[in-house]
Amino acid sequence: MSIETMYDFLDDVTADYTAANLTVAPQEIMNIGGEKDIEIHPSRGIYEERIIFSDESKFRVKLQWRTLSDEDHASLFGFYHDPAKGCGLGRTFYWEPPDQYDSHIYTVRFDCKWESFLQNFKAFGVASLILAVLGRKAETP
Protein backbone atom coordinates (compact mmCIF):
# COMPACT_ATOMS: atom_id res chain seq x y z
CA MET A 1 0.00 0.00 0.00
CA SER A 2 1.35 3.36 -1.03
CA ILE A 3 1.09 6.43 1.21
CA GLU A 4 -0.22 9.49 -0.59
CA THR A 5 1.52 12.82 -0.13
CA MET A 6 1.06 16.35 -1.50
CA TYR A 7 2.98 15.19 -4.56
CA ASP A 8 0.07 13.02 -5.65
CA PHE A 9 -2.31 16.00 -5.77
CA LEU A 10 -0.10 18.64 -7.43
CA ASP A 11 0.85 19.47 -11.00
CA ASP A 12 4.39 20.13 -12.26
CA VAL A 13 5.36 23.80 -11.79
CA THR A 14 8.69 25.40 -12.67
CA ALA A 15 10.03 27.82 -10.05
CA ASP A 16 11.21 31.38 -10.73
CA TYR A 17 14.54 30.61 -8.99
CA THR A 18 16.03 27.27 -10.02
CA ALA A 19 19.76 27.54 -9.21
CA ALA A 20 19.44 25.93 -5.74
CA ASN A 21 16.81 24.39 -3.46
CA LEU A 22 15.86 25.47 0.04
CA THR A 23 17.20 22.46 1.95
CA VAL A 24 17.49 23.49 5.61
CA ALA A 25 15.50 20.73 7.36
CA PRO A 26 12.93 21.92 9.91
CA GLN A 27 13.28 20.90 13.57
CA GLU A 28 10.54 19.36 15.72
CA ILE A 29 7.40 20.46 13.85
CA MET A 30 6.35 20.42 10.23
CA ASN A 31 2.64 21.02 9.78
CA ILE A 32 1.03 20.35 6.45
CA GLY A 33 -2.34 21.95 5.85
CA GLY A 34 -4.48 21.36 2.82
CA GLU A 35 -7.77 22.70 1.59
CA LYS A 36 -10.00 22.94 -1.45
CA ASP A 37 -11.42 26.14 -2.90
CA ILE A 38 -14.98 25.66 -1.66
CA GLU A 39 -17.46 28.21 -0.36
CA ILE A 40 -20.30 27.21 1.97
CA HIS A 41 -23.51 29.24 2.11
CA PRO A 42 -25.68 28.23 5.06
CA SER A 43 -29.40 28.85 4.96
CA ARG A 44 -32.25 28.16 7.32
CA GLY A 45 -32.40 24.88 9.15
CA ILE A 46 -30.03 22.16 8.07
CA TYR A 47 -29.76 23.26 4.44
CA GLU A 48 -26.71 24.78 2.86
CA GLU A 49 -25.23 25.31 -0.56
CA ARG A 50 -21.65 24.35 -1.34
CA ILE A 51 -19.89 25.87 -4.33
CA ILE A 52 -16.74 24.13 -5.56
CA PHE A 53 -14.62 26.71 -7.39
CA SER A 54 -11.76 24.33 -8.06
CA ASP A 55 -11.01 20.70 -7.36
CA GLU A 56 -7.29 21.47 -6.99
CA SER A 57 -5.77 21.25 -3.52
CA LYS A 58 -4.01 24.17 -1.82
CA PHE A 59 -1.27 23.22 0.63
CA ARG A 60 0.63 25.24 3.23
CA VAL A 61 3.65 23.95 5.14
CA LYS A 62 4.77 25.46 8.45
CA LEU A 63 8.46 25.01 9.27
CA GLN A 64 10.10 25.77 12.60
CA TRP A 65 13.67 25.90 13.92
CA ARG A 66 14.49 26.40 17.61
CA THR A 67 18.22 26.65 17.02
CA LEU A 68 20.11 27.26 13.80
CA SER A 69 23.77 27.38 12.93
CA ASP A 70 24.94 30.72 11.56
CA GLU A 71 25.23 29.10 8.10
CA ASP A 72 21.68 27.69 8.12
CA HIS A 73 20.25 30.99 9.39
CA ALA A 74 22.11 32.85 6.64
CA SER A 75 20.79 30.38 4.05
CA LEU A 76 17.16 30.83 5.15
CA PHE A 77 17.59 34.61 5.51
CA GLY A 78 19.11 34.77 2.03
CA PHE A 79 16.36 32.73 0.43
CA TYR A 80 13.75 35.04 1.92
CA HIS A 81 15.36 38.42 1.26
CA ASP A 82 17.42 37.92 -1.92
CA PRO A 83 15.56 39.51 -4.89
CA ALA A 84 16.69 36.68 -7.18
CA LYS A 85 15.50 33.93 -4.82
CA GLY A 86 12.36 34.34 -2.68
CA CYS A 87 12.22 38.16 -2.79
CA GLY A 88 10.08 38.04 0.35
CA LEU A 89 6.63 36.86 -0.70
CA GLY A 90 7.24 37.53 -4.39
CA ARG A 91 9.05 34.67 -6.11
CA THR A 92 8.90 30.90 -6.23
CA PHE A 93 11.73 28.45 -5.58
CA TYR A 94 12.26 24.75 -4.94
CA TRP A 95 11.96 23.26 -1.46
CA GLU A 96 13.17 19.82 -0.49
CA PRO A 97 11.36 18.38 2.56
CA PRO A 98 13.07 16.05 5.04
CA ASP A 99 13.49 12.49 3.79
CA GLN A 100 11.10 11.21 6.47
CA TYR A 101 8.22 12.97 4.69
CA ASP A 102 8.97 12.16 1.08
CA SER A 103 11.71 12.34 -1.50
CA HIS A 104 10.10 14.84 -3.88
CA ILE A 105 10.92 18.48 -4.49
CA TYR A 106 8.18 21.12 -4.44
CA THR A 107 7.72 24.56 -5.97
CA VAL A 108 6.90 26.98 -3.16
CA ARG A 109 6.86 30.62 -2.17
CA PHE A 110 7.02 32.21 1.25
CA ASP A 111 3.57 32.96 2.67
CA CYS A 112 4.52 34.98 5.76
CA LYS A 113 6.75 37.83 6.91
CA TRP A 114 10.30 37.02 8.01
CA GLU A 115 10.78 36.78 11.76
CA SER A 116 13.77 35.23 13.48
CA PHE A 117 15.08 35.53 17.03
CA LEU A 118 18.40 35.33 18.83
CA GLN A 119 18.22 32.74 21.60
CA ASN A 120 20.28 33.68 24.69
CA PHE A 121 22.34 35.92 22.41
CA LYS A 122 24.03 32.79 21.07
CA ALA A 123 22.03 31.07 18.35
CA PHE A 124 19.38 32.15 15.88
CA GLY A 125 15.99 30.50 15.64
CA VAL A 126 12.94 30.89 13.44
CA ALA A 127 9.57 30.50 15.16
CA SER A 128 7.89 29.65 11.88
CA LEU A 129 8.11 30.06 8.14
CA ILE A 130 5.04 29.25 6.12
CA LEU A 131 5.44 28.02 2.57
CA ALA A 132 2.61 27.98 0.04
CA VAL A 133 3.07 24.83 -2.02
CA LEU A 134 2.24 25.73 -5.63
CA GLY A 135 3.25 22.51 -7.34
CA ARG A 136 5.89 19.88 -7.67
CA LYS A 137 9.19 20.02 -9.52
CA ALA A 138 9.04 17.94 -12.67
CA GLU A 139 11.12 14.80 -12.29
CA THR A 140 13.60 14.06 -15.02
CA PRO A 141 13.31 10.58 -16.54
Average pLDDT over residues 85-106: 89
Residue 92 pLDDT greater than 90, yes or no: yes
pLDDT tens, position by position, 7-31: 888 999 999 999 988 888 888 767 7
pLDDT tens, position by position, 34-60: 887 788 888 877 888 888 887 788 899
Integer CA distances (angstroms), 88 to 29, 81, 118, in order: 22, 5, 20
Greater confidence (137 vs 120) lies with 137
Hey, what's the torsion of the CAs at 95, 100, 104, 106, to 10 degrees? -30
Domain residue extents for the chain: 6-136
